[in-house]
Amino acid sequence: MKNIIVGQSGGPTAVINSSLFGVIREGLNHTEEIGHVYGMINGIQGFLQDRYLDLGELPSGTLNALRITPGAYLGSCRYKLPDDLGDEVYPLLFEKLKALKVGYFFYIGGNDSMDTVSKLSRFAAKAKSTIRFIGIPKTIDNDLILTDHTPGFGSAAKYVAASVAEIGLDASVYEAKSVTIVEIMGRHAGWLAASSVLARKYEGDNPVLIYLPEVPFDQEAFLSQVQESLKQRPNLVVCVSEGIHDKEGRFICEYSGEAGTDTFGHKMLTGCGKYLENLVKERLGVKVRSVELNVCQRCSTFAQSLTDAREASMAGSFGVEAALKGETGKMVSFVRASGPNYGISCSLVDVNEVCNQEKTVPLGWITKEGTDVGQEFIDYALPLIQGNPALPMKNGLPDYAYRK
Amino acid sequence: MKNIIVGQSGGPTAVINSSLFGVIREGLNHTEEIGHVYGMINGIQGFLQDRYLDLGELPSGTLNALRITPGAYLGSCRYKLPDDLGDEVYPLLFEKLKALKVGYFFYIGGNDSMDTVSKLSRFAAKAKSTIRFIGIPKTIDNDLILTDHTPGFGSAAKYVAASVAEIGLDASVYEAKSVTIVEIMGRHAGWLAASSVLARKYEGDNPVLIYLPEVPFDQEAFLSQVQESLKQRPNLVVCVSEGIHDKEGRFICEYSGEAGTDTFGHKMLTGCGKYLENLVKERLGVKVRSVELNVCQRCSTFAQSLTDAREASMAGSFGVEAALKGETGKMVSFVRASGPNYGISCSLVDVNEVCNQEKTVPLGWITKEGTDVGQEFIDYALPLIQGNPALPMKNGLPDYAYRK
């Protein structure tokens, strides 16, 4: 009888613990094939320091609470395994796995984590180890290839859409002309910024302008677009991805450092939202503010998408089943059912093909002026934000799972 | 038979429309005494331009949706009536009210709005008008006197507590030492920043340090407190009110403008959170980030407190009943039941005593070092964040009420 070990890696999301829940529950269900379900504390990095715990010993309340708890219950790391599979860390790691009688290794994470799964599975093949390695995807950025979408994106998209809708209501209470610039996560891919379109309740509603990193940003064009839009409605909400850049590839947020210094004499780097706020104030003289949605995008329980949480858990379960069937070196991927009704089934893809690739918003889904996304995006994203979780509450807040 | 007119004024909240709902429903219920329930568009300012609507004509779906819609459905204004009751605007306004056969005037707002109610009721007495003027309190800042708390505060406090809890989970995923500074609304009163304490799940949990404007802020003491706290736990969440200031009364956010200039050569004013982020980076060399909770604090539907929404509606209803009984020049206030069980009843206070006053957090509720609040605050605030609204949903988001 072999054991499972599972780890979390990279930035946290609202549902990365739902995938952990899926792995644990599925693992514990297979009492004839699986002994223990271990969790690495702080991913590979912590495991190399022998930090792990037995997840079978979690109280059922904690296990259930994982489904609504953001962050990463096991802790995370940003540890990159050496490219050289001859490095001494590999035999060391496999010794530790062997000592724990691990037969199945699951890593929940994004691009870099899939790189880890790729390397470990390739080393296993070389070393003739029978340990199976499966990647469970997660990233709010939705930038993994070979999967319809990634767990974590739906909840972040829902947070963005709800917040932009509410900021739009908040911004429209006064009569005076105003511009509100909302800066949304996504350095290289605009999936999250594009999700702000889901806040639009009718044609012409906010957000009126949406800028993604997929299209080069031109600040003069931006200023005319803002000015033009202010003729249509007095209160403008403009959504920008943090990663917008000009046609030379220079990030707009880097513009702020040109002449700016902070109190300590350092280059003052603000986000692109703050930069554009100052630009609009300077050039258009209109009332303007910027809002950086910040980390709340990836960790809001109230705005969690039930669809996302369920799919995240399903990805974890499916990974365990796949490993038990003998699969290794694979990432769990989502396949969308064709036809009008939304449905997702799990499949497996070669993890070597996934890692170090990046999926961006198709240019055909972005309008010609580069200031909006079309119906294709809405059809794609809308099913992913459906459903609210039933939240176990304690002291007025969701009853989160946590390690002290 | 007389008509009602109701307006909203000042900054929006998550439940200001619940109070509007309360006024409308109560007004429409009194079919024998009340003809129409009118709403001023953009408060007094819009009404002076004859902008109003008949709220009895709202579809019932819209009326119900008001209870979960942030912003201000009727629009708001920041219009201050002249101190001189002899000003020509008063007879003009009363002419307009008379033309609409208004007998009862309700204004939902904070300090400045109560000033409006005070002036209008005093002018009415002078001019021997029988129109009755009642203020319905609202402000996320909770800084109105003569009421246990204000509608709007509970939902904002719940948003702050949930967000800080989630930011704490997010911040604790890595092993490296880190400081996260969360900047919370409240220029002069620390009620909202203090509410971050409700995020603490056990002794020693984040937020470890909480700074309010009620206590002078000393940046050297702050740096030692951060350094000391980092010995207790690697991931520190520090909550600061936007209005913290030094013992000379200078806002900490003003420090950022000392040497800082932006790309356009202007003084670079950041919030105090960003300033403290730079300070910690410079002086302690530790990984640090800042998060400004920003307007989402006052407009989140998902984090709405059901207790707050119900009380806001109750305040609206009570105001209508009071006016029908002949009251004028009053603000609806909340009285908390004594004893262990939370309960609120409505009462009336002289609006002249409320306006232009400010209620801050009692110094006795703040710990000696000025870095935390005590159990008194928790006992006070915890009942106010209880309960989640049942949200009518549309396209994955709350089905907000809005005027195009």
The per-residue pLDDT for range A44-77, each reduced to its tens digit, is: 999 999 999 999 999 999 999 999 999 999 999 9
Instruction: Determine which one of B115, B141, B143, B308 is catalytic.
Output: B141
Phi, psi (degrees; rounded to nearest 5) at B193: -60, -40
- Render A133-152 in DSSP notation, one character per residue: EEEEE--TT---SSSS--TT
* Binding-site annotation: residue ranges of B for Mg(2+): 111
Contact B172 A262 (CB under 8 A): no
Mean pLDDT score, B169-195:
96
pLDDT of residue B263: 62
Chain B nearest C-alpha distance from A133 (Å): 23
Distance of residue B357 Cα from the nearest chain A Cα, in angstroms: 25
How far B311 CA sits from the closest chain A CA (Å)? 16
Is residue B360 over pLDDT 90?
A: yes
C-alpha–C-alpha distance, residues A168 and A189, integer Å: 24
Residue with tokens 């104030």: A281
User: A141 with A192: CB under 8 angstroms?
Assistant: yes
Helix (H) or strand (E) holding A179: strand A178-184
Cα dihedral sign, A364-A223-A290-B65: negative
Separation of alpha carbons A94 and A80, rounded Å: 16
Give the mean model confidence (pLDDT) for residues B331-360.
95
pLDDT bracket for residue A347 (50, 70, 90): very high
Residues of chain A found within 8 Å of residue B296, distances taken between Cβ atoms: 163, 166-167, 291, 293, 296
pLDDT of residue B116 exceeding 70: yes
Rounded Cα distance, A33 and A29, in Å: 9
Interval A210-228 mean pLDDT: 98
Q: How many CA atoms lie within 13 A of A127 on its CB side?
A: 21
| Tokens, residue B297 | 């604090």
| pLDDT grade for B214, boundaries at 50, 70 and 90 | very high
Element (H, E) at A132: strand A132-137
Residue B172 with chain A: CB contacts under 8 Å: 71, 75
- The pLDDT score that the predictor gives to residue A404 is 85
Mutate to test the interface with B, among A79, A296, A297 (most CBs of B within 10 A): A296
Whether pLDDT at B270 is above 90: no
The neighbour count for residue A285, using CB atoms within 10 Å, is 8
A10 in Cβ contact with A141 (< 8 Å):
no
Sign of the C-alpha dihedral, residues A18, A21, A22, A23?
positive
Which of B16, B47, B170 to probe by mutation at the A interface, max A CB count within 10 Å? B170
Averaged pLDDT score across all residues of chain A: 95
Best of B49, B66, B166 to disrupt the A interface by mutation (most A CBs within 10 Å)? B166
Confidence of residue B255 (pLDDT cuts 50, 70, 90): confident
pLDDT of the residue at B246: 97
State yes or no: A111 annotated in a binding site. Answer: yes
pLDDT confidence bin for B262, thresholds 50/70/90: low
Question: How many Å lie between the alpha carbon of A1 and the closest alpha carbon of chain B?
Answer: 31
Q: How confident is the model at residue B404 (pLDDT cuts 50, 70, 90)?
A: confident
Cβ contact B170–A398 (<8 Å): no
Total length of chain A = 404
Q: A111-143: b or e for each residue (b if 16 or more CB lie within 10 Å)?
A: bbbbbbbbbbbbbbeeeebebbbbbbbbbbbbb
Give the model's pLDDT for residue B282.
Answer: 93
Retrieve residue A289's tokens: 């503010």
Is the preceding omega at residue B82 within 30 degrees of 0, hence cis? no
| Distance from the first to the final alpha carbon of chain B | 31
Q: Tell me the two tokens of residue A329.
A: 């070196």
Which residues in chain A have their CB less than 8 angstroms from residue B269's CB?
A: none
Partner residue facing B398 (CB), from A162, A261, A386: A162
Residues of B in contact with A174 (CB under 8 A): 42, 75-78
Predicted pLDDT of residue A356: 82
Nearest to B74 by CA among A235, A169, A201: A169
- pLDDT at site A263: 61
Q: Is the pLDDT confidence value at B259 over 90?
A: no
What's the pLDDT at A124? Answer: 98
Task: Check if the beta carbon of residue A186 is closer than 8 Å to that of residue A241.
Answer: yes
Is the pLDDT at A176 greater than 80? The verdict is yes
Q: Do A262 and B262 touch (CB under 8 A)?
A: no
pLDDT at B12: 94
Residues B252-266 have a mean pLDDT of: 70
Contacts of A172 in chain B (CB under 8 A): 71, 75
- A141 in catalytic set: yes
First to last CA, chain A: 31
Find the residue in A nearest to B390 (Cα): A388
pLDDT reading at A268 higher than 70: no
Which of left, alpha, beta for B76 (phi over 0: left; psi -120 to 50: alpha)?
beta
Q: Within a 10 A sphere around the Cβ of B283, how many other Cβ atoms?
A: 15
CB contact under 8 A, B165 and A291: no
Q: Is B31 exposed, middle or buried (0-12, 13-18, 19+ CB in 10 A)?
A: exposed
Per cent of chain A over pLDDT 70 is 97
Q: Which residue has the tokens 């911004």?
A: A171
Number of H helices, E strands in chain A: 14, 13
Give this complex's ipTM.
0.96
Tokens of B176: 């490296």
pLDDT band at B258 (very low <50, low <70, confident <90, very high): low
- For residue B256, name the pLDDT band (cuts at 50, 70, 90): confident
Q: Which residues pair with A335 in a beta bridge?
A: A345
The predicted pLDDT at position B65 comes to 97
Residue B193 is predicted with a pLDDT of 98
Pair type for strands A52-54 and A34-40: antiparallel
Q: Name the pLDDT band for A128 (thresholds 50, 70, 90).
A: very high
CB contact under 8 A, B296 and A166: yes
CB contacts < 8 A (A, B): 209
Compare all CA atoms of chain A with the CA of B162 and give the residue at the minimum distance.
Answer: A397
pLDDT band at B133 (very low <50, low <70, confident <90, very high): very high
Confidence of residue A258 (pLDDT cuts 50, 70, 90): low
Choosing from A54, A84, A87, A141, which is the catalytic residue? A141
Cα separation, B282 vs B300, whole angstroms: 34
pLDDT on residue B387: 97
How many helices, marked H, and strands, marked E, lie in chain B?
14, 13
**Which of A300-304, B250-254, B264-268 is predicted least confidently?**
B264-268
* Cα B291 to Cα B346: distance, rounded to the nearest angstrom: 37
- Find out whether A402 and A73 touch, Cβ atoms under 8 Å: yes
Confidence of residue B266 (pLDDT cuts 50, 70, 90): low
Cβ within 8 Å of residue A321, ≥6 positions away:
A26
Q: How far is A242 from chain B (nearest CA, A)?
A: 15
Residues of chain B with C-beta less than 8 angstroms from the C-beta of A301: 162, 166
